[in-house]
Amino acid sequence: MTRFLIRRILYAIPVLLGVALITLWLFHVAGGDPVAVKLGKNPDPAEVEALRQQLGLHDSFFWQYLNFLKQLVTFDFGTSWSDNTPVRQIFARGLIPTLTVSLPAFTLGSLIAIALSLLVAMKRGTLIDRFTTAAAIAGISVSSLIYILVGQWLLADQWKLFPIWGYEYGPRAVYFVALPILIWIVLSVGTDVRYFRTVTLEEIGKDYVRTARAKGLSETRILFVHVLRNSAIPIITRLTIAIPFLFTGSFLLEIFFGIPGLGSTLYTAITSSDLPVVKAFTMLGAVLYVCFNILADLLYALVDPRIGLQ
Amino acid sequence: MRFLPLALLVACNPDPYPGEQGNILHVSLRTLPKSMDPPQIEDESSAKLAAHIYDGLLQYHPFARPYQLQPAIAAQMPSVSEDGLTYTFELEQGVRFHDDPCFPDGEGREVTAQDFVWAFKRLAHPSTNSRGWWLFDDRVQGLDAWRDQLREELAGQVVDSRALPGMDRPIAGLVAVDDHTLQIRLTGPYPQFLWTLAMGYASVYPHEAIEYYGDEYRNHPVGTGPFRVAEFNPVYRAVFTRSSSYRPDHVPDPENNPNERWAGWEQDRDAGLLVNAGKTVPLLDGMEIRFILEDQPRWLYFKSGYTDFLNPPKDNIADAIPNGELSEEMKSRGIRIQKWTELGTVYACLNTEDPLLSNVDIRRAIALAYDHRWTIDNLYGGEALIATSPIPPGVAGYDPDYHPYHADDGRSNIELAKQHLARAGYPGGIDPATGERLHLVFENSGSGLTQRQFSDRFTDEMRRIGITVNTVTNTFPQLTDKMRKKKFQITSLAWGFDYPDAQNILQLLYGPNKAPGIGSANFDNPEFNALYERASKLPDSPERTELYRAMTRIIADEVPWVTRAHRIRPNLQQPWLQGYKYTEVTDQYLRYVGVDDAQRDRLVAEWNQPTRWPLILAGALFLGVLGVSVRRS
């Protein structure tokens, strides 16, 4: 297993180098003028030049790339070009609010989706199955923005059941994140149920399920012990791919509900060409993606003994 | 379904301020502030925050219109030398900085003239990347030379922001005569000088705070204003509390004190704006300012009573103010409205150095094809005036009557536009050299709905005179980059005045300011330039106003801009807000505002009663499904 891990980590290095190269190159091609971000609307041309020098914008692309790699290794991406806040501070400030929404929403949403998909797979062809499938398709077909706008208007403004906007650190956060979590779950369950249902249906038709039924096992046991375990690989794949995105949150939910998290920060950084922040987010995403891919491989071996770590 | 108990647990209380009400003003801002460090205060939200924390020598009168300056930390308006170049300010004695850990004993010390000299030097220092240097650029004796020398000396060095080099060197034009006398010597006439001293850039703050906080000062401002920062999260909210050291100040009381009268004070009294006249300022114990970036939550927050006033988002104007009047719903809640025409102009900026757009007849054709009425009716809900020149109403030089390339009714004049296109050498929009249609690229800033609607409409208008248009969407930095490099043809921009003087917008069309400067149209007309230079030396006077008018006539003839609109801004106020008269150029007026918090508590509770039946229904459904499942299994 150690050799497997070392090999996978070594494989990840060129991937991360490539992501860093593409990120930097994209900003060079289409990022806009960072000096405009830092100096505002009436800059003195001499000051523009001095700042370009200071930011290393006159350095060769290769040299800038090396600097970027150094930042990656030390995880010190400097300060935001928009407001001079250290990027580390931005992450420290936004991580908790983001995870306060994304983690429970992801966990609850996944559990609900798995339970529902097993249920509808078991009741295949019945009214419950048709209704759930139709509801899932209808749910997927509507833009996430509509859910947010309508959810906020109806549940928070018209029915006054939740706060419209806001966030508090500490236990009172629950009070503010309940509605964003609810909307996240509604947004994610449709897609997940469709996918998990297909996976589960494939398993339910297999011989071992018939054998289990013939042996007189309860449907609940067949579903939650045998079918679920054999469906685990595609489910793990899907869930582990989603986990890195929990750290960047949902910028729409965060902006609409006033969650001071990383999603809204990333959105603001992209629209204001704030390269240090965008670079940090991109690399964090890439690192997490690689890590959770390795974790998925380990989990495959755990749930399916036929898979070896070689 | 597992989330349901959680939701039930936390629901049924929409109040975002449980236990936090009181004599507090609740405000929402639509953008994130970037910094509260004076040299960096450029964006709207930063300026609005800084207005409560800092003071400068002068400030705007909270009620007088047209806008009028009055002393702030200055004891009276400055004395000016005969040549108009030396301004002497006597400072109010006993004005103190906020109490803050940056001071040895935590207690704010007295403000002196040396503090202003230091703050102005820091504004000019090359290492601060100051956004407000333009205030003093080439204006104060010795300041440019000091700055240039420092830039040269510090080239390539990393400078410690806590200890900027060169701050102890004397500057001939910035002199602290004694602790309470400040003298500023200008290099030449600068009629806008006093206006600039009321801007956030010219605020005073202590050197101790910079030495103590360094770069973090942007989040820990220390000033002399009525409020100090209690909590600040730059992506969420700012909470301010009343400063115990604020200088003696009160709401003007014109009724009992004739010296405090201004033109039109009776109307303000009759409108109920002087209910707190004579009371000590600030009237509030604190402020809570939230950064709500999206229109819908900002609007719903106001409707629910959680913010005390709001300029309604564009898409909610039709609901709140149908036909220009408050809706019945708004009236029934006691909400009040104030309307004013913005100190600003929305315009299409044409790059006059572009090979195609350097032809004035093409620019005139574009202006004639543009339908102002449609834009105002459809994009601004009818709440805007047609801009016939860059100067808005209320500013000297405003001239709505001269508009050779705008139709009187604001509609397109397609026939005349085609004639100009033919005169330009492109009959029917066809280039005779290639046989192809003229093609323009319209640069959008951002992908907002209004921008897209405007560019779509512009494309259609150009199509009607035979020109095809391709729209490119940019972030603002991308657009700025293109403008600085002159690599664009047309874009839509807006300018909000920094102070109520037409020079502030006309500078954008002054030849020497063209790109990479702020003159993105790259307009360089010798006659205009000569008029601008003459006007820039004159104080506010009929002669200067006539020069401004002459300049706007050149702009109307030469069309470097298609001036589009001066937006009419409605401001909605909750019934518990007292003495509120919106001032566009600064938010300092909020220190003269009060709230009736008992009325607010009562109304907010009344307006926000939860509707419980959806919860009961959801609970019943949940239990029903659970029951059926259990029974079946």
Q: Sort out which chain A residues have CB atoms less than 8 A from B630's CB and list them.
A: none
Please state whether beta strands B436-445 and B490-496 pair in parallel, antiparallel, or not at all (unpaired). Answer: parallel
Kindly state whether residue A282 falls inside one of the protein's structural domains: yes
Residues A298, A223, single domain; the answer is yes
CB A253 within 8 A of CB A148: yes
Residue A308 lies in a domain: no
DSSP per-residue letters across A162-218: S-SS---SSTTHHHHHHHHHHHHHHHHHHHHHHHHHHHHHHHHTSHHHHHHHHTT--
Looking at residue B453, its pLDDT comes to 83
- If asked whether residues A190 and A110 sit together in one domain, one would say yes
Q: Is B396 helix (H, G, I), strand (E, B) or coil?
A: coil
Give A145-162 pLDDT, tens digit per residue.
Answer: 999 999 999 999 999 999
HEC-encoded secondary structure of B494-562: EEECCCCCCHHHHHHHCHHHECCCCECCCCCCHHHHHHHHHHCCCCCCHHHHHHHHHHHHHHHHHCCEE
User: Among candidates B608, B605, B607, B576, which has minimal Cα distance to B593?
Assistant: B576
Residue A176 and residue A281 share a domain: yes
Residues in a beta bridge with B444 = B473
What gap in Å lies between CA A55 and CA A225, rounded to an integer? Answer: 58
Assess contact for B352 and B560: CB atoms under 8 A.
yes
Beta-carbon neighbour count of residue A63 at 10 Å?
Answer: 11
Backbone angles phi, psi at B465, to 5 degrees: -105, 10
Question: Residue A167 sits in which domain range?
Answer: 87-303
Last residue of a domain, one of A14, A42, A74: A74
Pairing status of strand B237-242 against strand B467-474: unpaired
Task: Specify whether A129 is located in the same domain as A13.
Answer: no
**pLDDT by 10-residue block (mean), chain B, 633 residues:** 47 61 90 92 91 97 93 97 96 97 96 98 93 92 96 86 95 98 97 96 97 93 97 93 95 95 95 95 95 94 95 87 90 94 94 97 96 88 90 93 85 94 94 93 82 88 95 86 91 94 97 90 98 95 97 96 93 95 88 94 92 89 78 63
pLDDT band at A83 (very low <50, low <70, confident <90, very high): confident
CA distance A210 to chain B (A): 20
CB contact under 8 A, B129 and A39: yes
Nearest residue of B to residue A174, measured between CA atoms: B10
The DSSP 8-state label assigned to residue B347 in this structure reads E
Name the B residues in 50-109 with CB < 8 Å from any A CB.
none
CA atoms within 13 A on the CB side of A299: 19
Q: Where are the beta strands (DSSP E) in B73-123?
A: 79-80, 86-90
pLDDT given at position A103? 95
Alpha-carbon distance B149 to B132, whole Å?
19
Cβ atoms of residues A272 and A37 within 8 Å: yes
| Domain match, A174 and A284 both | yes
Burial class (CB in 10 A: 0-12, 13-18, 19+), A74: exposed
Asked if the C-beta of A111 comes within 8 angstroms of chain B's C-beta atoms, the answer is yes
**Mutation choice for B interface testing from A81, A82, A84 by most B CBs within 10 A:** A84
Using CB atoms, which residue from A43, A46, A271 is nearest to B475? A271
Interface test with A, best of B480, B486, B507, B621 (most A CBs within 10 A): B480
The CATH number of whichever domain residue A129 belongs to comes to 1.10.3720.10
- CA dist B233 and B198 (Å) reads 26
| B119 neighbors B217 (Cβ within 8 angstroms) | no
For B484, which of A33, A47, A175 is closest by C-beta distance?
A: A33
ipTM value for the complex: 0.87
* Residue A79, domain member (yes or no): no
User: Is B156 in contact with A270 (Cβ distance < 8 A)?
Assistant: no
- Amino acid B18: pLDDT: 59
Contacts of A265 in chain B (CB under 8 A): 235
pLDDT > 70 in chain A, percent: 95
Cβ-contact B230, B284 below 8 angstroms: no
Does A30 share its domain with A159?
A: no
Is-cis flag, bond preceding B282, omega within 30? yes
Q: Do B235 and A38 touch (CB under 8 A)?
A: no
Work out the mean pLDDT of chain A and round it to a whole number: 87
What is the reported pLDDT for B113? 98
From B14, B479, B484, residue closest to A161, measured CB to CB: B14
- Map A249-299 to HEC letters: CCHHHHHHHCCCCHHHHHHHHHHCCCHHHHHHHHHHHHHHHHHHHHHHHHH
The backbone torsions φ and ψ at residue B290, rounded to the nearest 5 degrees and listed phi first, read -105, 145
Strands B577-578 and B561-573 come out as: unpaired
Helix (H, G, I), strand (E, B) or coil at B291: strand
Token pair 């004070």 in the structure block, residue: B265
B609 touches chain A (CB under 8 A): yes
What is the number of domains present in chain A?
Answer: 2
Q: What is the pLDDT of residue A40?
A: 66
Tell me if A281 is assigned to some domain.
yes
Contact criterion met (CB below 8 Å) for B547 and B540: no
User: What is the reported pLDDT for B1?
Assistant: 41
- As a whole number of angstroms, the distance between CA A197 and CA A116 comes to 8
A50 CB within 8 Å of a chain B CB: yes
Where b means 16+ CB within 10 Å and e means fewer, B116-147 reads bbbbbbbbbbbbbbbbbbbbbeebbbbbbebb
Query: In this structure, are A284 and A174 located in the same domain?
Result: yes
A58 and A98 in one domain? Answer: no
Q: Report helix, strand and coil shares of chain B as percent, to nearest 5.
A: 35, 20, 45
Give the SS3 label for residue B201: helix
Q: Examine the domain organization and report whether A173 and A36 are in the same domain.
A: no
Tokens of B568: 């009419």
Residue B627: both structure tokens together: 């029951």
Confidence of residue A127 (pLDDT cuts 50, 70, 90): confident
Asked, for residue A245, whether it belongs to a domain, the answer is yes
Is A80 contained in some domain? no
Nearest CA in chain A to B516: A45
Tell me: do A150 and A68 sit in the same domain.
no
A299 and A253 in a common domain = yes
A118 with A22, same domain?
A: no
- A85 versus B304: the higher-pLDDT residue is B304
Determine whether A59 is exposed, middle or buried from the number of CB atoms within 10 Å of its CB (0-12, 13-18, 19+): middle
C-alpha span between B419 and B426 (Å, rounded) = 9
**Under a CB-based contact definition with an 8 Å cutoff, are residues A176 and A207 in contact?**
no
Nearest to A291 by CA among A44, A28, A11: A11
What integer pLDDT is reported at residue B20 of this predicted model? 58
The residue among B304, B227, B317, B282 whose CA lies nearest residue B568 is: B317
CA-to-CA distance for A284 and A276, rounded, in angstroms?
12
* Residues of B with Cβ-Cβ distance to A223 under 8 angstroms: none
Q: At what angle do helices A232-246 and A87-122 cross, to 10 degrees?
A: 150
Does residue A309 fall inside a structural domain? no
According to the model, what pLDDT value does residue A298 have?
Answer: 86
B225 three-state secondary structure = coil
| Cβ–Cβ under 8 Å, residues B341 and B403 | no
Other C-beta atoms closer than 10 Å to the C-beta of A117 total 26
- Where among A45, A74, A103 does a domain terminate? A74
Nearest CA among B195, B130, B275, B222 for reference residue B502 = B195
Number of H helices, E strands in chain B: 20, 21
Q: What is the DSSP letter of B323?
A: G
Is residue A252 situated within a structural domain? Answer: yes
Q: Which of B282, B423, B433 shows the shortest CA–CA distance to B365?
A: B423
Which pair of tokens denotes residue B274? Answer: 């002087």
Residue A52 has a pLDDT of 78
Cβ-proximal residues to B204 (8 Å cutoff; 6+ apart), any chain = B54, B55, B56, B57, B73, B111, B115, B116, B119, B223, B224
Domain boundary among A74, A96, A120: A74
Beta carbons of B477 and A31 less than 8 Å apart: yes
Examine the pLDDT at A2 and tell me if it is beyond 70. Answer: yes
d(CA B342, CA B537): 26
Tell me how far the alpha carbon of residue A284 is from its chain's centroid.
11
